[in-house]
Amino acid sequence: TYTTDTKSGEENKKTIESLYGLPVDVKKIRRLKEWVLLQDVAYVKEIADILKEMGADETAIANILERCPEAILHTPAEINSQRALWQFVCQNDKQLIKLIEQFPESFFTTDYHENQKANILFFQELGLKNNIITRFLTSAPNIFYNPVEKNKDMIETLQRNYLSLGGSDANMKIWILKLLSQNPFILLNTSTAIQENLEFLQKNDFTDHEVLQLLSKLKGFIFQLTPATMQKSMLFSKNVFKCSDQELKELVLKCPALLYYSVPVLEERFEGLLKEGISVAQIRETPMVLELTTQIVQYRIKKLSALGYDVKRGTLENLNGTKKDFEVSYGKIQSKEERPIFNPVAPINIED
């Protein structure tokens, strides 16, 4: 968002000297964003002083400027305004400088300062906690570039649909806040896209209650899909499982990944499972296994096989779930395998 046209087309010697004095790896900047060094005006010392004032040491300052050299093209006034805004949701300068170290690009994007400010206030009014808002600022900064009216409109659309699908007024706020916390990118969608996706599910005989269930299970990611991609994924699953529309619907409710993942992803995961000797019937019984990548499945099968557990004969439930879930299942099988056949300290019954 900065002009790369400079009068001389040569590096600014004053900028170079100031950076070397910090000390910043100028070669790194030349390699990644040389255009920054060509600008006639830069505020190296001033930006470094602001960061220092916030508690950043020499190493942290050098690291920040190497990762986000365009920071030096902002005026001190812009950065102080940004600092004041982020302090509004950060506990203290220590937390703020830690965030800037991790996500310098998010902090030094000052073009949307007024939008950021209005959206922070809106999210606070909505009931989002400051720690969630800081997470949004760093991991989903794009949502703050939206005019606040657009974000308000999206929230109203979600609320309206939640109520029309049978959700209650009493639970609506909790539902919205949870959905936003799980997937803030939902705000980058359009009202039309949301409407089209919900109508697609209703046309495919999902009841209002089931649609709500899917929205919650998919953490709002359903709005990043299109009716066309969902249709293709469902058709692929129907052909693989050789099931009726009703059976397919039940499978989707059990495993929303069948709706969410594209056909190439589902295809790759199916093939990976079949190569391991797992049958289509087993996958149909435990479709949630398709939520795992082929690499994770192979790793888990290998670990279970080492314990003598044969996934081709047993249930796929033991492969399922998060890393923590799998470790629990693995631990249970391991302790079962290691348990002695007899109790060595039990008294022996000898007949007279």
| pLDDT tens by residue, 2-55 | 444 444 578 899 999 999 988 889 999 999 899 999 999 999 999 999 999 999
Type of residue numbered 167: G
Percent of the chain with pLDDT over 70: 93
- Give me the helices (H) in 204-226, please: 208-217
What was the pLDDT predicted at 8?
A: 54
Selected residue with higher pLDDT from 337 and 174: 174
pLDDT tens digit string along 106-149?
A: 999 988 999 999 999 999 999 999 999 999 999 999 999 999 99
pTM of the model as a whole? 0.78
| Strand spans (E) along the chain | none
CA distance 245 to 234: 9
What was the pLDDT predicted at 211?
A: 92
What was the pLDDT predicted at 22?
A: 87
Within 10 A of 145 (CB to CB), how many other CB atoms are there?
A: 14
| Cα-based distances in Å from 19 to 15, 39, 45, 253 | 6, 14, 8, 57
Arithmetic mean of pLDDT, 98-108: 94
What was the pLDDT predicted at 315?
A: 81
Residue 336 has pLDDT above 50, yes or no: yes
- 188 burial (CB, 10 Å; 0-12 / 13-18 / 19+) is middle
pLDDT tens digit string along 259-313?
A: 999 999 999 999 999 999 999 999 999 999 999 999 999 999 998 888 888 888 8
What b/e sequence results for 277-289 when a residue is b if at least 16 CB atoms lie within 10 Å of its CB, and e otherwise? ebeeebbbebbbb
Indicate the average pLDDT of the chain.
89
How does residue 314 score in pLDDT terms, banded at 50, 70 and 90? confident
Which token pair is 225? 């899909």
What was the pLDDT predicted at 223?
A: 82
Residue 339 has pLDDT above 90, yes or no: no
How does residue 350 score in pLDDT terms, banded at 50, 70 and 90? very low
Architecture (CATH level 2) of domain 112-218 = Alpha Horseshoe (1.25)
CA distance 307 to 147: 56
How does residue 254 score in pLDDT terms, banded at 50, 70 and 90? very high
**Beta carbons of 301 and 275 less than 8 angstroms apart:** no
Residue range(s) in the chain whose domain bears CATH number 1.25.70.10: 112-218
CA distance 291 to 318: 14
Q: What is the CA radius of gyration of the chain?
A: 28
- DSSP letter (8 states) at residue 20: H
CA distance 7 to 319: 62
Residue 338 has pLDDT above 80, yes or no: no
